[in-house]
């Protein structure tokens, strides 16, 4: 279902979508500097106010002022968000990334509605929890780490850490935040658990790491591998055998034995080195340089 939706959305996809999101976050930072109370009075997602007609809050809550830790730190965080978001978009396409973000915003709104209804039924008064996209933004790192587990990040700008270890770091961090929420208040704990669960669910919905292991995909991969093996056998026979025996299998399209469609500019692997390998061109390299998924985000750009 998700794959069909992604394919249908391709004609409406917004390329470079993360740059617009970063501009919204920057606007939120400016709002926080000028008058932080303005956001909570007029822009925050408040269900009571939305029911009164202030429907713009369903969108404007995205620009929630950031932590206020200083201009340099905020600029650095915006740059990191932009880099991570654009990398994910290049790896899996603009359509999927657009839907991933839109659905994340919708899920946050749904969580707010659930919290409002739950508190209304329990306390008699609906509460508008200050929902932000903090947990959703954290799943950007998780998505990239799951797609490129061997990619190296520089922790604190000088400590090299492989992306797969960030999955463990974020799991511990999320667990601590949930524990801290319940320690402070059961209500805060439930809200934190709901928001983190929703953010992780949204990430796995569009960037699930086990996609190649689902039953339908297994069947397709098995059929592809059989055809791939038949093609290799045919090409070997075609190159070495007598002319009278050069008959291709009925389910195989002949291709030259020495030509490949894809080749990684770093490791030299081609599609013949593994039926599950994927290749991408790097837009920052001058010339047509193609890389496997392991090196698309971990190579020196050609100037």
- By the 8 A CB rule, do 17 and 94 touch? yes
Residue 56, domain member (yes or no): yes
Task: Give phi and psi for 279, each to the nearest 5.
Answer: -130, 145
Contacts 24+ apart (CB under 8 A), 236-240: none
Residue 223, domain member (yes or no): no
Domain ranges, residue 281: 260-303
Confidence tier at 67 by pLDDT (50, 70, 90):
low
Global confidence as pTM? 0.68
Query: Residues with Cβ < 8 Å from 209, sequence gap 6 or more?
Result: 146, 147
- By the 8 A CB rule, do 298 and 148 touch? yes
What secondary structure letter does DSSP report for 296? T
Beta bridge partners of 280: 291
Give the integer Cα–Cα distance in Å for 233 and 204: 38
Residue 248, domain member (yes or no): no
Mind listing the pLDDT tens digit for each residue in 22-55? 999 999 888 888 887 888 889 989 999 999 999 9
Same domain, 202 and 272: no
Residue 190, domain member (yes or no): yes
Same domain, 146 and 272: no
What per-residue confidence (pLDDT) applies to 222? 62
Mind listing the pLDDT tens digit for each residue in 138-183? 999 889 888 888 888 776 667 788 888 888 888 999 999 999 999 9
Q: Is the pLDDT of residue 296 over 90?
A: no
Structure tokens at 149: 């587990």
Boundary residue ending a domain (212, 244, 268)? 212
Same domain, 151 and 273: no
Same domain, 136 and 73: yes
Boundary residue ending a domain (212, 239, 274)? 212
- Averaged pLDDT of the chain: 81
Residue 245, domain member (yes or no): no
Q: In the chain, how many domains are there?
A: 2
What per-residue confidence (pLDDT) applies to 91? 87
The C-alpha torsion from 146 through 168 and 297 to 75, rounded to 10°, is 120
CATH number for the domain that contains residue 170: 1.20.1540.10
Confidence tier at 15 by pLDDT (50, 70, 90):
very high
Boundary residue ending a domain (195, 212, 229)? 212
Same domain, 186 and 93: yes
Question: Which residue in this structure is represented by tokens 């000088």?
Answer: 158
């Amino acid at each position: 279902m998700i794959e069909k939706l992604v394919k249908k959305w391709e004609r409406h996809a917004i390329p470079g979508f993360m740059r617009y999101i970063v501009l919204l976050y920057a606007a939120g930072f400016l709002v926080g500097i000028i008058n932080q109370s303005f956001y909570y009075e007029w822009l925050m997602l408040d269900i009571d106010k939305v029911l009164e007609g202030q429907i713009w809050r369903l969108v404007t809550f995205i620009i929630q002022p950031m932590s206020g830790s200083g201009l340099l730190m905020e600029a650095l965080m915006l740059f990191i968000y932009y880099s991570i978001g654009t990398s994910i978009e290049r790896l899996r396409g603009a359509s999927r990334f657009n839907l991933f973000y839109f659905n994340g915003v919708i899920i946050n709104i749904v969580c707010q509605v659930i919290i409002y209804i739950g508190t209304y039924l329990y306390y008699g008064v609906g509460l508008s929890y200050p929902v932000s996209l903090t947990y959703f933004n954290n799943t950007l790192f998780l998505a990239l780490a799951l797609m490129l587990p061997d990619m190296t990040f520089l922790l604190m700008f000088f400590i090299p850490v492989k992306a797969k270890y960030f999955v463990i770091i974020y799991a511990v961090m999320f667990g601590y935040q949930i524990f801290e929420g319940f320690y402070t208040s059961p209500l805060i704990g439930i809200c934190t658990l709901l928001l983190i669960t929703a953010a992780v669910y949204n990430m796995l919905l569009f960037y699930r790491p086990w996609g190649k292991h689902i039953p339908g995909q297994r069947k397709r991969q098995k059929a592809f591998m059989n055809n791939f093996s038949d093609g290799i056998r045919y090409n070997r026979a075609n190159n070495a055998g007598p002319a009278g025996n050069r008959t291709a299998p009925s389910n195989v399209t002949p291709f030259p034995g020495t030509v490949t469609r894809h080749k990684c500019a770093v490791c030299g692997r081609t599609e013949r080195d593994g039926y599950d390998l994927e290749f991408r061109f790097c837009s920052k390299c001058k010339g047509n340089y193609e890389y496997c998924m392991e090196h698309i985000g971990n190579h020196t750009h050609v100037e």
